[in-house]
Chains A and B, each alone.
Chain A
Amino acid sequence: DQQVKQNSPSLSVQEGRISILNCDYTNSMFDYFLWYKKYPAEGPTFLISISSIKDKNEDGRFTVFLNKSAKHLSLHIVPSQPGDSAVYFCAASDYGGSQGNLIFGKGTKLSVKP
């Protein structure tokens, strides 16, 4: 059973507009959430994270929102740039329980068109 779900396999956005990538989770023990970006033939690159005690974290063009009651998080990229085109993975972990392994969603392929 998938504990972390990214229901949109792909997303296409115009350059300069906002990209919103969504992620849902089922395990209420998760207390740390991360977003990674991955280009083909490379390992995932860490983008931004959020702990369960917060509902928003911002880093430059990237903002992650966490809605614990809905077990939902989203990544906003504003403004989107063609270089943002990649596969984005949402990941979750239960660090409070020392389960430090990451549980990944299956990814959303973002295409930003010039």
Chain B
Amino acid sequence: KAGVTQTPRYLIKTRGQQVTLSCSPISGHRSVSWYQQTPGQGLQFLFEYFSETQRNKGNFPGRFSGRQFSNSRSEMNVSTLELGDSALYLCASSVRDSTYNEQFFGPGTRLTVL
């Protein structure tokens, strides 16, 4: 079974621009979660989508948004980029049924904001 894929792997943007990152979950997984990893803050939860609906949201400003498509693929968007948005953005998928589910991570997208 193919793993979680994320595109692109690397991105360089300048302040004020906007960016869209893409995530394809493991086949059969309906939940996609996004995390931001920075050296200072570690891994922090951004949001979770399940069946095209945002189910949970972390403590990030409204510049961070996402969506999920009917095939469970997900995108996240960051508008008006700031230098502090430079980070590794990780996507994770899980089955997310009624039992405990592990989340499986993609390789991440490394975003650099100049």
Contacts and interface: CB of A to CB of B under 8 A. Distances in A.
Interface of A: 31-32, 34, 36, 41-46, 49, 51, 89, 91, 95, 98-107
B108 A101 contact: no
Given A43-B4, A89-B43, A102 B103 contact: yes
A106 B40 CA distance: 9
B42 interface: yes
Given A42-B107, A43-B90, 19 more contacts: A34-B102, A36-B105, A42-B108, A43-B4, A43-B6, A43-B92, A44-B105, A45-B105, A46-B102, A46-B103, A46-B105, A51-B100, A99-B56, A100-B48, A100-B55, A103-B45, A104-B44, A106-B42, A107-B42
Main secondary structure of the interface of A (DSSP, over half): strand
Contacts of B90: 43-44
Main secondary structure of the interface of B (DSSP, over half): strand
Interface core residue of B6, B42, B100 (most chain A CB under 10 Å): B100
Interface of B: 4, 6, 31, 33, 35, 42-45, 48, 55-56, 58, 90, 92, 94, 96, 100-108, 110
